Amino acid sequence: MASLFERQFQNTRPLTGARVGIREELSDLITNVDAKETPITSMAKRGAKPGNTTFRWQVDRHPEPSVELGILDGKDVDPFSPSTNPDFKQYTLGYRTEVENNIHLFRRSVHVSNLTQDILNIAGIKDELSRQLAKATIDLKRSMEVTFSSDIMPALDDGTTPYRTRCLTSWIKKDKAIATTNQDKYGTQNQTIWPIDPNFVTPESSIVGTGVAVTELNENTVQDVMTSVYEQTGQFKNHEAVVGTKLKRQFTELVYTTRAPSGPSSSTGIRSTRDAASDTISASVDYFEGDFGKLALVPSQFLHAGVNPYTIIETVASSVSSFKLYDGHTATESNRVKALTSDGNTSGTITVSSSNIDAKKAAVLAAAGNALTADNLVITAASSSAADRDAAAALAKYRANLHLENAKCKGFIIPWDMLEVRYGGNIAQVRELTENGGGPRRMMEAMAALLVHSPLTFGMFDYKANNA
């Protein structure tokens, strides 16, 4: 008599012999741990719908006080010729001005085939089109967060360049705020824009760390930027700073550890300031309290803050691939990325093979903080093999990612009552596109603009990574 055992139904791949008919159990659980927050777009006020593609508002300030030597008793004010009479003050010209910004369009589109939508039985998904739209919503919101923290300047739609809103770094950094034309890594806009009046740009004293490694952050620099913000507002109050992850870590290092002095009889090290009697190690700083208020630290992974994106261009000569990096979106020799003095290059060239890729990555990483050379960087494959080509491409991406560490060292002091995101219509509107037989298509579009009531009240941590 034949016997039937479970092992005869083992569902191997490919199916062989009598091992057929057993159903596969696939859980409906889909795990996604990516739940990063977007503090700028979430915490900024939702402003009114813009009345036009370009909109303006007024900013005002008070005159600086002066020492008064008094007025003679009985002295009259001459009511005639007030325009030339110093007794009459004028509090509009020189104190009040207009600023402007433009709308900015964000768009995502999704397409699901008929078989995918109507026939395919996907574990954990009842409606694949709805899931695609949900993910597109998150993608759009995160892109808005990165864009709004960048140094994009306003641009008008001229048929080539689309409308662009002035973003946070361009509100704060003076070289962007007062510029009259936009010619940078995002392309050239030939139209004239309305710059910010120099009297209303963020003071340079409210920006710390420019061109300096994040490890140079210290209590004095934090006190300096908070002092400068106070000098603009005259209000002793708490502030919030949206900070990158490396800057947040540096705040913790600032408070909980100090470097021991070095000398002939002592070595440099770390001296702990934690309570040895405590059974808990607390190594987190969420607030910095200084002479002019308390600063709450709000971490973010979506800061851009003027960090130039790297464009990687591959060229092939005699079947051997080489990769060049460009600082920005345009690929011109003037913005080629320079080599570092100790990243394993000769005359700017790093030759990479599949066997030495790890060593080359280590050499590039070890070059942290070294000066740039006069040579443009070229990453070349050791041979025409696909493996060496992939190794060179991987090192180019690795080098670019080291540069993007700069964004993690940035931070903004934001008075939330002075920041608005103005949306056109709904925050994100879904439109049904024409379906010609290939399955349903949808487009999600958001029209938004960033409105800074007055840049004077903002501050910025403009540090960079050690290995940039």
> What integer pLDDT is reported at residue 330 of this predicted model?
66
Determine contact, residues 422/448, Cβ cutoff 8 Å. yes
> What integer pLDDT is reported at residue 434 of this predicted model?
86
Q: Please give the structure tokens belonging to residue 365.
A: 């990483």
- Cα end-to-end distance, the chain, whole Å: 75
Report the distance separating Cα 164 and Cα 189, nearest Å: 10
Q: Which residues contact 23 (CB under 8 A, 6 or more apart)?
A: none
> What integer pLDDT is reported at residue 399 of this predicted model?
84
**DSSP one-letter string for 90-154:** --STTT-EEEEEE-EEEEEEEE--HIIIII---TT-S-HHHHHHHHHHHHHHHHHHHHHTS-PPP
Residue 127 phi/psi, 5° resolution?
-145, 105
Identify the sign of the CA torsion 245, 247, 251, 252: positive
Give all domains of the chain, ordered by start, each with its CATH number.
Answer: 36-57+96-258+283-307+404-468 (3.90.1690), 310-403 (no CATH)
> What integer pLDDT is reported at residue 355 of this predicted model?
92
pLDDT tens for residues 323-365? 998 876 667 777 788 787 777 666 788 899 999 999 888 888 7
**DSSP one-letter string for 254-318:** HHHEEEPP-BTTB---EEE-S-TT-SS------EEEETTEEEEEEE-S---TTPPPEEEEEEEET
The segments of the chain whose pLDDT lies below 70 read: 1-36, 81-85, 118-125, 183-191, 255-284, 308-309, 328-330, 344-346, 367-374, 426, 466-468
Identify the sign of the CA torsion 200, 201, 204, 205: positive
pTM > 0.85: no
Identify residue 154 by its one-letter amino acid code. P
Fill in the DSSP letter of residue 23. Answer: P
CB atoms within 10 A of CB 164: 25
Beta strands 372-376; 349-352: pairing state: unpaired
Determine contact, residues 175/462, Cβ cutoff 8 Å. no
Task: Report which secondary-structure segment, H or E, holds 338.
Answer: strand 338-340
> What integer pLDDT is reported at residue 260 of this predicted model?
44
Q: Which residues contact 77 (CB under 8 A, 6 or more apart)?
A: 85, 87
> What integer pLDDT is reported at residue 8 of this predicted model?
57
> What integer pLDDT is reported at residue 317 of this predicted model?
92
CB atoms within 10 A of CB 114: 13
Determine contact, residues 407/245, Cβ cutoff 8 Å. no
> What integer pLDDT is reported at residue 58 of this predicted model?
85
